Structure 1
């Protein structure tokens, strides 16, 4: 199996690939791919913000394994992921971090440990509502459906009942995530065996059909021990990995978008840090429009409302500064539009280190200040959260020009 290793946002490199594999990479948009004009059969590849590993299969060609390594340490990446999923449940130290330098092995071991803790007290059971045609009366008879579907015949019976079973959404998610991880490359042998054992315990849960919506579950006291594993399971199943491309090309794997991961962490961490100051925060705020007719919709990453329901602060998380041709300061223009539409005198742009520098900009003739802040993702989690708390204090007091 051919293998290619890239680093997130590193300069492009050239690799010899069959034309079908190269075209499939172009269609997948997992990486930037283009034929190398100076090397016959060569393809220039450059990773963007997606990290992880995928296996690409094209009929008649050897499968290609593509691994993209994040720039931030793996341990820090999983801190961001865990905190964004649930800041109250996330715990460090569950996995020997030093043993892994790749995302997929670390993800597999982290999930296996979380699932083992979830199943330690036994497989969770719950009531599942079922409506079906049956040869015996069970639960209650659905009279209207019986008449409409069977026109006076006695059998089969249209019944409805609640069954106490292990075939519930929580177990379906765990089983599906386990099977997905077992299909990925580079999962350590010991972890693979543990996952296979756990899958056997979940055999009564109905398999999920790929491409369909994930089953919905509600957090409760009963499934509290499952919740860390469920958060990771949904991350595994929602990872950006296109499974089918035009023709007979298939892709399977796990990819995380660092843009979204950073945005999710910043928004959740800021929401937690702003809680002591009152009001409430909306993530990916709705109902914000640039024009008075309400036709130009905007979605700030975080919008803080005061106790009176009026906007008090706005923030956007940017993993990297956007510098498209013709609009080198697009992030600033976007924040200026937010502040203008919301009637705010300050706006906050939050970058990962390397995306921008600490800076404040006073907009001419507008009375608006736009502040750019930087989070160092390579710092320790405690330091990172302290920086977020300092930023929350500045936002709450309306003194965003102070240095962090």
Structure 2
């Protein structure tokens, strides 16, 4: 297990290990160079900086190579190895918010101390939910079975019976229903349990997975994960299954809207950091905003322009807030600002152009908008907002990652 942070470098040369530079085996290096770079539109995990060095991109989580090397990638907002536990806690909180998970994960001291990679936390969360489901009793469903039996039960299949050979006339071709645990939801849960049992590196997760494998012994593993996910029931009788589905899907496919899919094997799980931060800011705002505020994520009602009645270039701000006729726009950027005025505090001119366009379309050129960045020790002190026009203001605010809040002025009013 190697622990680094976003944009760290991986090399096959001998190097003093740190969160920004790590030595990996040649087999892992070759696999990442082959499968982790740009390939016909697939997400890129690394870029080649030289024949012996790779640089990670802005994804966090864990990636496991076929040779067994696990690389844990933490958020870049940590200063030294002493901050690894804090960065893991932050990553866990962000992923929990994105997946709507209960923050409590098991009772193991190692998990509470945040000295396990994210994949093991999520595996522990899934196993805890699966155990709770097993104690309450998994749901069963009727399943139709076609059989050839020496006695009649269910419904006789006349077409098959008439086509039967004369020597088998004493056998009945029947169709009957059985009340069984063999249903898509249970098959996927069993598959996720076996996935953890085969790949987990912690004794607690492995032991609980083996126990659950016994409890779900009557349920076969899924033969077609995509098809079973498609037929996952959503009626009220399956309300107990709602919380476990995101974890099950993530463990088996890595194909949630904010997860990175690719040719990554084993206990791999990667997330684009910008999307996690956006969801973290969104969830935090929903926690503190009064009930009469409406909060809309990725609102895409407006377009930049139109031609001959056809709209072009959909505009989707991260968060649109409403209270009656008033509106505010919030955009979250996972970027570290500096206190260097000569470098414009590392603010992006393109971000300002984007917010200006949002202000014209969504606010009619009048109102207040917010650019939210993670708070750091040298975050620039800005006493006044930026004036994009006489009536359009842009606030640049720090977001406290631990307290999960930013000083939004519209909430104070």
Give TM-score scaled by structure 1 length: 0.70
Residues 1:35 and 1:256: Cα distance change in structure 2 (over 3 Å): closer
TM superposition shift of 1:198: 1.0
* 2:348 aligned residue: 328
* 1:76 aligned residue: 90
TM superposition shift of 1:335: 1.9
Matches for 1:2-401 after TM superposition, within 5 Å: 5-16=2-13, 17=26, 20-21=30-31, 22-27=33-38, 31-34=45-48, 36=50, 42=52, 44-57=53-66, 62=67, 64-70=69-75, 71=78, 72-86=86-100, 90-92=102-104, 94-95=106-107, 96=109, 97-98=112-113, 100-122=115-137, 124-127=138-141, 164-184=179-199, 187-203=201-217, 204-207=219-222, 209-210=224-225, 214-215=229-230, 216-218=232-234, 220=236, 223-224=239-240, 226-239=241-254, 240=259, 242=261, 244=263, 251-257=265-271, 258-278=273-293, 280-292=294-306, 293-307=310-324, 312-320=327-335, 328-343=348-363, 345-354=367-376, 357=380, 359=382, 361-365=385-389, 367-377=391-401, 379=402, 383-384=403-404, 387=405, 391=408, 394-396=409-411
Aligned-pair Cα RMSD in Å: 4.1
Residues 1:205 and 1:23: Cα distance change in structure 2 (over 3 Å): closer
Question: How many residues get paired?
Answer: 353
TM superposition shift of 1:299: 1.8
Give TM-score scaled by structure 2 length: 0.69
TM superposition shift of 1:242: 4.5
TM superposition shift of 1:152: 12
Confirm or deny: 8 A CA contact 1:9 1:48 kept in the other structure: yes
User: Per the alignment, in what secondary structure is the counterpart of residue 73 of structure 1?
Assistant: helix
TM superposition shift of 1:197: 2.0
Distance (whole Å) between structure 1 residues aligned to residue 330 and residue 156 of structure 2: 53
TM superposition shift of 1:342: 0.7
Choose between structure 1 and 2 for higher RCO, CA contacts under 8 A separated by at least 6 residues: 1
TM superposition shift of 1:169: 4.2
The structure having more radius of gyration, on CA atoms, is 2
Structure 1: 5+ residue runs without aligned partners?
A: 245-249, 400-404
Alpha-carbon displacement from aligned partner over 1:116-172 (angstroms, at most 9, x marks no partner) = 2332233x21446x678676885899xxxx9xxx799789999897x6432344423
Distance (whole Å) between structure 1 residues aligned to residue 349 and residue 154 of structure 2: 66
* 1:247 aligned residue: none
Distance (whole Å) between structure 2 residues aligned to residue 201 and residue 20 of structure 1: 41
Confirm or deny: 8 A CA contact 1:8 1:68 kept in the other structure: yes
TM superposition shift of 1:300: 1.9
Residues 1:242 and 1:228: Cα distance change in structure 2 (over 3 Å): closer
Residues 1:256 and 1:214: Cα distance change in structure 2 (over 3 Å): same
